Amino acid sequence: MADETGIEALIALMARLPGLGPRSARRAVLVLLKKRAQLMAPLAQALAEVALAAKDCRICGNISTAEICPICADPARATGEICVVEDVADLWAMERGKVFRGRYHVLGGTLSALDAVGPEDLGIPRLVARVADEGIREVILALNATVDGQTTAHYIADALAGTGAQITTLAQGVPIGGELDYLDDGTIGAALRARRRL
């Protein structure tokens, strides 16, 4: 209870961030209040700048501070491959993997009859156009292994059937460092079916 409308409003805003509840938001604001010059002012500045500059890339849907994101703007990434992901978070995760060197298409969700999310909402017609325009040879469907993700993957595979591009998906199997004892049965089954010669 900060007894102060300004500070209380700040705590309420901070509490809306994922991973912070009302209690940890209060703790974070206290730390900020104690480091006003070193942390609070620079954070306010950085947030204001990014809030103003950030935009959705109109080619792939990635979020960056440019009209066209650095990945779409980089000619070295015109490898003829597009990786389809559900969310910008998944794009960032793929980039952390440092293996994929092509470009992306961010759906921004999955097909859902219940939530009235159709192919246009996910930019699927735009993806089909890109495959032809950019001479894409392979579309990698890196969607989540959920029912909605897999339904969407099948829909996209159908939509791309006429383009001639090869459609692939991420391999399923044992995660690096994963222990068999803790894996679910489905993953063990998938890993066994996809076993490779050593």
Site string for a copy of itself, 78-107 (x = CB under 8 A): ----------xx--x--xx-----------
115 counts as binding a copy of itself under rule CB under 8 A: no
Rounded to the nearest 10°, the torsion over CA 150, 152, 157, 163 is -160
129 counts as binding a copy of itself under rule CB under 8 A: no
Given candidates 22, 48, 80, 172, which one binds a copy of itself under the rule CB under 8 A? 48
**Residues paired with residue 141 on neighbouring β-strands, in sequence order:** 84, 169
10 counts as binding a copy of itself under rule CB under 8 A: yes
The span from the CA of 151 to the CA of 148, in Å, is: 5
Contact assessment for residue 105 and residue 84, using Cβ atoms and an 8 Å cutoff? yes
Pick the closer one to a copy of itself by CB: 54 or 192: 54
54 counts as binding a copy of itself under rule CB under 8 A: yes
Residue 103 is encoded by which pair of tokens? 């470009």
Residue 129, helix vs strand vs coil = helix
The span from the CA of 128 to the CA of 122, in Å, is: 12
Q: Which residues bind a copy of itself (CB under 8 A)?
A: 1-4, 6-7, 9-10, 13-14, 16-20, 24, 26-28, 30-34, 36-37, 39-54, 63-65, 69-71, 88-89, 92, 95-96
